[in-house]
């Protein structure tokens, strides 16, 4: 039922999705839905939290698995693009579905966005400490990177051949992030 809900919310948006759509797609009785969730909003918030946690954990593991700033950047981008290619409904649910339509989601969305910013801010701060990038307001840079990357991911989701362009997106965005941060190279300045 949860997989059906993620997919349908991503495809139709929060407002256009009904509980009947979800249970019909999941081939479960409507009573099953109400056994677990009192209403559509509660289900949507639950799905949002679950998918946000999944994406953040995946991206954080990517950062933690690499030691140099360029490797961290590429690993995060590869993970994000892979999720967009293989689980596009997850990304659409987080970045599009329900935005501005579910009041209970506003605070959770803010927390999710902050965690995305922190994924970029920590390695950028470490790269600055090691003189691999110039001193800058790493918070503002991380906010800008988060927005730019999300926009590219959303654009990629609209492409029919997203699996074929995924590697190019990762390469282009890696170069973009390194240029945008003023990366000197791993020898530093």
First-residue to last-residue Cα distance in the chain: 54
Sequence ranges of the domains in the chain: 39-181
Q: Measuring CA to CA, how many Å separate 167 from each of 54, 75, 79, 80, 149?
A: 22, 12, 11, 12, 15
Given this model, what pLDDT does residue 130 score? 93
Question: For each of the chain's 189 residues, which pLDDT tens digit applies?
Answer: 999 999 999 889 899 999 999 999 999 999 999 999 999 999 999 999 999 999 999 999 999 999 999 999 999 999 999 999 999 999 999 998 878 888 888 889 999 999 999 999 999 999 999 999 999 999 999 999 999 999 999 999 999 999 999 999 999 999 999 999 999 987 666
pLDDT tens per residue across span 26-63: 999 999 999 999 999 999 999 999 999 999 999 999 99
Given this model, what pLDDT does residue 189 score? 62
Given this model, what pLDDT does residue 161 score? 95
Round to whole Å and give the CA distance between 80 and 116.
Answer: 11
Given this model, what pLDDT does residue 186 score? 75
Given this model, what pLDDT does residue 25 score? 96
Given this model, what pLDDT does residue 146 score? 97
CB 94 within 8 A of CB 52: yes
Cβ-in-10-Å burial (0-12, 13-18, 19+) of 16 comes to: exposed
Assign domain 39-181 one CATH number from 3.30.750.200, 1.10.357.10, 1.10.10.10, 3.40.50.300.
1.10.357.10
């Amino acid at each position: 039922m949860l997989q059906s809900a993620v997919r349908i919310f991503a495809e139709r948006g929060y407002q256009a999705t009904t509980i009947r759509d979800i249970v019909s797609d999941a081939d479960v009785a409507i009573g099953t839905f109400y056994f677990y969730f009192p209403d559509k909003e509660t289900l949507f918030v639950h799905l949002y939290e679950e998918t946000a946690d999944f994406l953040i954990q995946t991206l954080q593991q990517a950062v933690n698995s690499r030691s140099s700033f360029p490797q961290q950047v590429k690993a995060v981008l590869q993970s994000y693009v892979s999720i967009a290619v293989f689980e596009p409904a997850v990304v659409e649910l987080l970045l599009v579905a329900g935005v501005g339509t579910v009041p209970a989601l506003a605070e959770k969305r803010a927390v999710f966005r902050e965690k995305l910013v922190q994924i970029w801010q920590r390695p950028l701060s470490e790269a600055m400490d090691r003189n691999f990038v110039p001193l800058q307001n790493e918070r503002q840079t991380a906010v800008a990177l988060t927005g730019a990357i999300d926009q590219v991911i959303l654009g990629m989701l609209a492409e029919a051949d997203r699996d074929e362009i995924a590697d190019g997106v990762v390469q282009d965005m890696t170069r973009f992030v390194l240029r945008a941060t003023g990366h000197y190279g791993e020898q530093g300045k």
